[in-house]
Amino acid sequence: MRRALSIPLAAALVLCAMPAFAQVKASAQNVPEIPYDSVPNFLKLPPGRYLGEAIGVATNSKGHVFVYTRSANTQLFEFDQNGVFVREIGAGAYNFEFAHSVRVDPQDNIWVVDEGTNTITRFNPEGHITMVLGRRPPAVLGMLQSPVPGPKPPAAKYTFGRPTDVAWDPQGNIFISDGYVNHRVVKFDKNGRFVKQVGSQNAGAEPSQFNTPHGIAVDGNGNVYVADRGNNRMQVFDNNLVLRNIYDNIGVSWTVCISPGPHQYLFTSNSNPNGNPPGSWDITGEIYKMELDGTILGKFGHAGKQLGGFQVVHMMDCRNPDQIIVAEIESWRVQKLMLKPSAAPARPTTTAAR
């Protein structure tokens, strides 16, 4: 069997650029545990199909589950609400190289973020590409040195550096977290025209700067929540990308999601680091359920190999805030978690805002 390696060398990039992730114990105290069950054998793959690293997960309005996975090739799978395999979408598409995120918009379009091709691509519900943001580096330029030596050029309006996630406000404006090379959030209008950005090509730890913005979500009022992973915090911006708040008691914010409806909840994962360094299982792996204002309501989950434990949660779907679907890197697994009513009263216990 030929082991193929794409010319932009996404794989080697990961090998050489993957930082050693910090393990950070969340500073929030006395957070109630939310009990849950993990549905056994939730996703049922047909013979010959495999998940690789289960990087991205999202649901549409019918409850169908979309998984963007680093399998032999990066692939996008659709399952029905019971986890039965429906189809593969976009097999071999030009934007597929190294999965990072999948999200479904209110019109049930499926958006994928690929950090190997620097693209954010919209598939319509039928599975055809209807919009592309960013550009895949042209193959004709050959295999290039990465990272490029020397100073970084300024981040450009329409190209990305290993983007990580996408979200929309109620007006359809598009927000992209970008990413591992750039360290910024970019706002486009619904037609894909650049509006503005916060952050830059350089990492930073000051407010409104980022160090690997790794996930993004927008609430019903258009506020933007960014998992600022490298800074061990979440930053909250208004719709014009003006900073409103920082939540920094939740450990490493790997990924965020916000449930729909009149009372929205915010979820963030203090995922255990890749490689399971010594001691990491003791202090990481939990997911926080929060109010949008940063009030922590509870937490659930822990690092572990077995069902119900997590191996680097990379993405969450919280369309139903009592049924969280998580995609994990290192167990090549997607779990559906049924949260149970907490024994403790669901009222504010600790405030994240500083």
User: Interface residues with another protein (CB under 8 A)?
Assistant: 2-10, 12-13, 17, 88, 90-97, 115-118, 126-129, 131-132, 134-150, 152-162, 178-182, 191-194, 201
C-alpha distances (whole Å) from 99 to each of 85, 96, 113, 327 are 19, 7, 7, 12
Q: Please, which residue, 24 or 133, has the CB nearer to another protein?
A: 133
| Distance in Å, CB of 187 to another protein, minimum | 14
Helix (H) or strand (E) holding 11: helix 10-17
Strands 194-200 and 129-133, how do they pair? unpaired
In degrees, rounded to 5, the angle at the alpha carbon of residue 265 between the alpha carbons of residues 261 and 270 is 145
Q: Please, which residue, 33 or 78, has the CB nearer to another protein?
A: 78
Q: What phi, psi does 135 have (nearest 5°)?
A: -140, 135
Q: Position 11: which residue type?
A: A
Q: Please, which residue, 164 or 335, has the CB nearer to another protein?
A: 164
What is the Cα–Cα distance from 198 to 178, expressed in whole angstroms? 10
| Distance in Å, CB of 119 to another protein, minimum | 10
| Residue 271 per-residue DSSP state | P
| Distance in Å, CB of 24 to another protein, minimum | 24
Q: Please, which residue, 182 or 331, has the CB nearer to another protein?
A: 182
| Strand ranges for 209-331 from DSSP E | 213-218, 224-228, 233-237, 243-247, 256-258, 265-269, 287-291, 295-300, 313-320, 323-328
Query: What DSSP string runs through 100-120?
Result: EEEEE-TT--EEEEETTTTEE
| Distance in Å, CB of 3 to another protein, minimum | 5
| Distance in Å, CB of 221 to another protein, minimum | 27
| Distance in Å, CB of 165 to another protein, minimum | 15
| Distance in Å, CB of 191 to another protein, minimum | 6
Q: Please, which residue, 117 or 311, has the CB nearer to another protein?
A: 117
Please give the radius of gyration of the chain, using alpha carbons only, rounded to the nearest integer.
Answer: 19
Q: 154 by DSSP, 3-state: which?
A: coil
Q: Please, which residue, 196 or 263, has the CB nearer to another protein?
A: 196
Q: Please, which residue, 198 or 246, has the CB nearer to another protein?
A: 198
